Amino acid sequence: MLRINLLKVLLITVGSLFLIAACGGSSSEPTLATQPTPVVEKTEEPTQQNGTTTVSPIATSKGDSGGGKLVRLYIDPPTLDPHLTTDATSAQIIIEVFGGLVTIDRDLNIVPDLAEDWEISDDGRVYTFFIRPDATFHNGKPVTAEDVRWSLERATNPLTESPVVDQYLGDIVGVKEKLNGDAETISGIKVIDPKTLEITIDASKSYFLAKLTYPTGFVLDRENIEADPKRWFRRPNGTGPFRLTQYDVGETMVLSRFANYHLGPPLLEEVEMILSGGTSMLMYENDEIHVSGIGLADLDRILDPGNSLNAELLQAPPTFSIQYIGLNVNEPPLDDVKVRQALNLAIDKQNLASSVLADQVVPANGILPPGFPGFNPQLRGYEFDPERARQLLAESKYGDDLDNFPPITMTTSGSFGATVSLDMEVVLQMWKKNLGIEAEFQQTEFATFLKDLHKRRFQMFDIGWIADYPDPENFLDILFHSESSNNHTNYSNPQVDALLEQARTETDEALRFRLYNQAEQIIVDDAPWVPLWYSGERYLLVKPNVHDYYLTPLYIPRLRYVYLTDEE
């Protein structure tokens, strides 16, 4: 989503996965497309819970022209406050209920949202936004430039405790001073008149507009928040295409059509999220939900042309995401680069992807995913080499005295007693077999996991990231600059910082990408991560009466395009 995005999900054809959205980086819904040549984003089904769920059969539309209620299996979002979100589970709801000055369309272009237009000064530092005259909150109150200013002030208020605000709004002049407690307001934001806002950034940066599509920059209603500061988001007065009309934690969430939405009203009347758990395939086959991912256990039978569900099968191409193991470089024994490199070399990712994950993922060589702007096919990663791994371990300051080797704990998200994903189990087995290192698992509840992740409390963690906007800065700068709040591994390299800072303001795109390529190679060599998987092609099931569920490699507001028709 948008950017980090974090959550525990089930990859449609694989197993457990976290994504921090970068919005980030994951989804708890399957995705589908009805276009001839769609670009599809990451598709996962929700984390399944114990027990079963019984619901009424899914409804069709009210007519051939659209409408109706889309029903999906989902999970409770960690937050519905746009200024606090760091995960894709939350972001996918938030981007349908709220909005900002700009958004990303189906072709991945930055396009107007609450701002109908904008102007950029010749030096690229001053942005003047013109608010749409027809933009309103859900209660009908017009959106003003003051609403935008107040929202950005709230997001950057240290008392709001936004985990990533410095990354997404830190380019604005005065934000860093406010976050540091040296200023009460953002000096770089000025209200010119009720419908005109001016934002000044610290240098010309090509990705600034794209950052404003992240929920940290979304516009909120001050009256809505101040009337009930602790629970306002249960009845939010947003500006998006849908209103949140019902939310029973652990049971149901309902989004209802906002008829006066300034970009055009949604076609669906409602979107119902089932939060009480259940088995996705079973619910799909019982006509209780419209979309389902397909687990490995069901894939062969669904691929059989003789199966009645085969006609509803779609294959989704990859998204801009990566699954990885983060290594806290300040924690022994991970403070030794040779130990970190050994951990990378000791994993046979290709064998694991084929034999355990049925080739539904692509082994990750670096950080930027294939097809992403700035992707470097020549990057030197880590090929499986257990002999070299053992040699590096012996050369490390800890040597190969495994009896006195510092303990290693891998932290992942999940309730107590939940099953650890098979791929992570195999990774730990490979470390034991090839290096003699035994690591332990630790699981924490998802919301707690997110908090501890941002406080850098983990020695080693299993997580994922999906891009928020199509620029290498969204991966490399946000995740690896030494001063980034999203640098959860405590990685620091002055040379990398210098390259990333130079790339921020470089206007020549080719040179910019070369700077990012250099930085990525150094990061990979320093090994603060064990890159695991890029998204592969996935399978999913979609009811025949679902239309225009457009998908992209990024999370974008798209539910307003969806409609249902009566089944024949």
- Of the three residues 227, 249, 274, the one that is the final residue of a domain is 227
Q: What is the pLDDT of residues 61-95, one digit of tens each?
A: 544 445 799 999 999 999 999 999 999 899 999 99
Within this chain, do residues 484 and 379 fall inside the same structural domain, yes or no? yes
CA distance 319 to 42: 5
Q: Tell me what percent of the residues of the chain surpass a pLDDT of 90.
A: 74
Within this chain, do residues 108 and 215 fall inside the same structural domain, yes or no? yes
Cα four-point dihedral sign 101, 107, 35, 474: negative
Average pLDDT for the chain: 87
Q: What is the pLDDT of residues 143-158, one digit of tens each?
A: 999 999 999 999 999 9
Residue 1 resides in a domain = no
Residue 59 resides in a domain = yes
Two tokens at 516? 């990012």
Residue 3 resides in a domain = no
Is there a contact between 129 and 199 (Cβ–Cβ < 8 Å)? Answer: yes
Q: What pLDDT does 317 receive?
A: 67
In the chain the first and final C-alpha atoms are separated, in Å, by: 36
Residue 421 resides in a domain = yes
Whether 425 has a pLDDT exceeding 60, the answer reads yes
- Of the three residues 204, 227, 250, the one that is the final residue of a domain is 227
Within this chain, do residues 214 and 287 fall inside the same structural domain, yes or no? no
Q: What is the pLDDT of residues 478-499, one digit of tens each?
A: 999 999 999 999 999 999 999 9
Residue 2 resides in a domain = no
Within this chain, do residues 192 and 329 fall inside the same structural domain, yes or no? no
- Angle at Cα 73 formed by Cα 70 and Cα 74, nearest 5°? 110
Within this chain, do residues 463 and 341 fall inside the same structural domain, yes or no? yes
Within this chain, do residues 126 and 193 fall inside the same structural domain, yes or no? yes
pLDDT, mean of residues 531-538: 86
Cα R_g (the chain), whole angstroms: 23
Within this chain, do residues 111 and 211 fall inside the same structural domain, yes or no? yes
- Of the three residues 227, 255, 276, the one that is the final residue of a domain is 227
Within this chain, do residues 187 and 222 fall inside the same structural domain, yes or no? yes
Within this chain, do residues 212 and 304 fall inside the same structural domain, yes or no? no
CA–CA distances in Å: residue 409 to residues 53, 65, 513, 542: 35, 55, 36, 40
CA distance 403 to 335: 18
Within this chain, do residues 14 and 150 fall inside the same structural domain, yes or no? no
Two tokens at 30? 């399957």
Q: In Å, how far from its chain's centre is CA 132?
A: 28
**Lowest-confidence pick of 26-30, 229-233, 365-369:** 26-30
Domain housing 286: 8-98+240-317+537-564
Q: Give the chain's domain count.
A: 3
What CATH number has the domain bearing residue 421? 3.10.105.10
Within this chain, do residues 72 and 170 fall inside the same structural domain, yes or no? no
Residue 254 resides in a domain = yes
Q: What pLDDT does 414 receive?
A: 76
What CATH number has the domain bearing residue 147? 3.90.76.10
Within this chain, do residues 29 and 122 fall inside the same structural domain, yes or no? no
pLDDT higher at 35 or 453: 453
pLDDT higher at 49 or 330: 330
Residue 548 resides in a domain = yes
Residue 453, SS3?
helix
Question: pTM for the full model?
Answer: 0.85
Indicate the Cα dihedral angle 492, 484, 472, 178, nearest 10°: -150
What CATH number has the domain bearing residue 71? 3.40.190.10
Is there a contact between 199 and 172 (Cβ–Cβ < 8 Å)? Answer: yes
Residue 361 resides in a domain = yes
